[in-house]
Amino acid sequence: MQKEKNDELSKMFSYAGNYHKLTILGCILAGISTIFSMLPFVCIWFVIRDLIHGLSQGDVTLAAGSSHYAWMALLFSVLSIFLYFLALIFSHLAAFRTATNMRKKAVHHIVELPLGYFSQNASGRLRKVIDDNAGLTEGFLAHQLPDLTGAVVMPVAVIILIFVFDWRMGICCLIPMAVSVIFLKQMMGGDNADFMSKYMTALETMNKEAVEYIRGIPVVKVFQQTIYSFKNFHNAITEYEKFASGYALKCRMPMTGFTVALNSTFVLLIPVAMIILSGLSGHISYEETVLDFLFYALFTPVCTTMMNRIMFASEQLMAAKSAVSRVEAVIQEKTLPESAQKQKPADTGIVFKNVSFSYPRASEKALDNVSFEVPAGKTVALVGASGSGKSTAASLIPRFYDVQEGSVLIGGADVRNIDKRDLMEHVAFVFQNTRLFKDTLLENIRAARPSATREEVLKAAEMARCTEIIDRLPNGLDTVVGSGGTYLSGGENQRIALARAILKDAPIVVLDEATAFADAENEHQIQLAFEELTKGKSVLMIAHRLSTIQDADQILVFKDGKIIERGTHNELLEKKGTYASMWKNYQTSVSWKVGEGDEKHD
């Protein structure tokens, strides 16, 4: 356990790079500042000592001569503040670099992860893990670490000073501190040591559910499901409250004991001082003992402040360690392995050979021994009920996931052996849920090929039947879409996505429910765009609207992760199997009309 904690700390410091030296320098300056912050109390004690001696001896000049101690107290205070200021400057510079490097490394890594990772991890959780946890680490390194260093340095100086004057009173000051440390360990150790990890998990879940709830508010309002839709978010809040309040309740007794012990110094100090005084004889002994007592009375608040700093810094240290481990968990996520022996596809034909695949943590196979072929330049359509494995099969072509059994080949080369960049250049993927950036239409289309000219973008938009969309927008291609700009309908979004795919001009096209959100007019335009997009390409098409796949060279019917029928549209209708039944139901649904009743009412 201790080794893991040290690993987390060393990992945290490693993100600072060369700025790690500034962290060390900041801690050293904070330690020196702490020592200087204690010296004014000693100087004040010297002032009080000279004042008492002067008054007792009737020598006013002796009391007045101690003014240089007052100036020294001021000088030490200024030096302490100045050094602490420098320490915070250095620690902040290192902290900012550490947090920046953590964010950069995590973001660069998730870009390399397969798309399947993001379907398993919500965007709200990833944002929380990367951004907020890096912020926690930044706060610890910038503020709490210098304070913790000072709090560690202070006990050494305290012990030295305590025993310089009267060891009996010194022990009276040390006993409450020692007892408070016992209570502090109870708060930070045992079951509470794992609290921060559970607490952060609950916080991430609540953040994820909050994002999902806010995104779903339009649907919630339309269907008046506020109470039910709030259920998951409410459960996440309840879970978070359970950890937060549970930790507070567990710590109430140790915290009470810590506070009472820390502030009980005078309960021991005064009686011990009285006992010592009662056993003394002589004016000088009384005077020295009273002066010693005044020193400890002045110094006790410093010890209390020191212990409180240690407590708060220890809590932040727990949070920072947990934050680093969570960011590391994202960074340690394995990317898809790259083969050392790269292969080049001979053509654009696609072959699934005995492919089986299961999603992470799933008990059943999404695909079970699936084999089929998409010949170069041909179109193959996949149909079937939701969850039958169609989209899973399509996602294996651009390696959103890797198969567990069998192989997916493009031009005779296993996709696992094709260079990642070459594979992406070979495949254009049009998703069911189209994502447009909060940017101009020009940049949204050009995302497929950033080097494309404006004329090439316009040509792709024209081929995707987007001309009328562009013409009606106030700034044409330069119109900003999304938040703060113009909103497009679902069908229009899909036509823009098709323009992207056309601009990319990849030899393999995968269409995953590309007409899912289109109305009749948009569907017609999208079908025309398909013709431009798929000319001479190898096409794998997934569709629920069977009218869009009648002309496919082959249709595969999926059920429970297996292919149960295959053939052309007419061949499958003649078999009178599952596809024929699906076609009949589809024809019935499209023939439904809302007509007028025969009866008339006055």
Residue 339 in any domain: the answer is: no
At residue 558, the pLDDT reads 92
Same domain membership, residue 377 and residue 311: no
Report how far residue 396's alpha carbon sits from residue 405's, in angstroms, rounded to the nearest whole number: 12
Kind of pairing between the strands at 554-559 and 379-384: parallel
Is residue 322 domain-shared with residue 354, that is, in the same domain?
no
The per-residue pLDDT for 278 is 73
Give yes or no: residues 179 and 299 share one domain: yes
- The type of residue at 270 is I
Contact (CB, 8 A) for 18 and 330: no
Do 451 and 576 sit in the same domain of this protein?
yes
Domain termination residue (choose one: 265, 299, 331): 331
Residue from 348, 383, 519, 499 nearest 430 by CA: 499
pLDDT value of residue 599: 44
User: Distance between alpha carbon 169 and the CA centroid of its chain, in Å?
Assistant: 51
Q: Bin 566: left if φ > 0, else alpha if -120 < ψ < 50, else beta.
A: beta
- Please report the pLDDT score of residue 60 as a whole number: 56
Same domain, 197 and 285: yes
Within this chain, do residues 170 and 225 fall inside the same structural domain, yes or no? yes
Q: Quote the tokens at residue 416.
A: 């696992």
Residues 6+ apart with CB under 8 A from 279: none
- Return the pLDDT at 352: 94
Looking at the fold, whether 324 and 359 belong to one and the same domain comes out as no
Residue 449 within a domain: yes
Choose among 99, 112, 106, 113: nearest CA to 127: 106
Q: Is residue 341 a part of any domain in this protein? A: no
Cα distance from N-terminal residue to C-terminal residue, the chain: 84
Tally of CB atoms within 10 A around 177:
21
Q: How far apart are CA 223 and CA 232, in angstroms?
A: 17
- 8 Å CB contact between 457 and 445: yes
User: Which tokens go with 502?
Assistant: 């056309």
pLDDT value of position 61: 60
DSSP letter string over 13-28? Answer: HHTTGGGHHHHHHHHH
Q: Could you write out the DSSP letters of every residue in 272-314?
A: HHHHHHHT--SHHHHHHHHHHHHHHHHHHHHHHHHHHHHHHHH
Q: Say what the pLDDT of residue 112 is.
A: 80
How far from chain centre, in Å, is Cα 345?
37
Q: Which residues form the domain of 486? A: 350-589
Position 598 in a domain:
no
Domain holding 403: CATH number? 3.40.50.300
Rounded Cα gap, residues 491 and 528, in angstroms: 13
Are 204 and 279 members of one domain? yes
Instruction: Please report whether residue 342 resides in a domain.
Output: no
Could you tell me if residue 399 is inside a domain?
yes
How many domains in the chain?
Answer: 2
Give the β-pairing of 413-414 and 405-410.
antiparallel
160: its two tokens: 């030295």
Does residue 434 share a domain with residue 300? no
Q: Which two tokens stand for residue 293?
A: 């007592």
Do 322 and 369 lie in one domain? The reply is no
Quick one: 155 and 38 in the same domain? Answer: yes
Tell me the CATH number at 209: 1.20.1560.10
* Position 336 in a domain: no
CA 529 – CA 460 distance, rounded (Å)? 10
Answer yes or no: is 519 within a domain. yes
Environment class of residue 95 by beta-carbon count within 10 Å: exposed (0-12), middle (13-18) or buried (19+)? buried
* Residue at a domain's end among 331, 366, 390: 331
Residues 357 and 327 in one domain: no
List average pLDDT for each run of 10 residues in the chain, which is 602 residues long.
Answer: 58 83 90 86 78 65 67 90 93 90 87 75 72 82 84 75 74 81 74 65 73 65 57 76 76 83 80 75 63 76 75 75 80 80 88 91 86 91 88 88 91 89 84 77 87 89 84 85 66 82 87 61 66 81 80 90 92 90 81 48 42
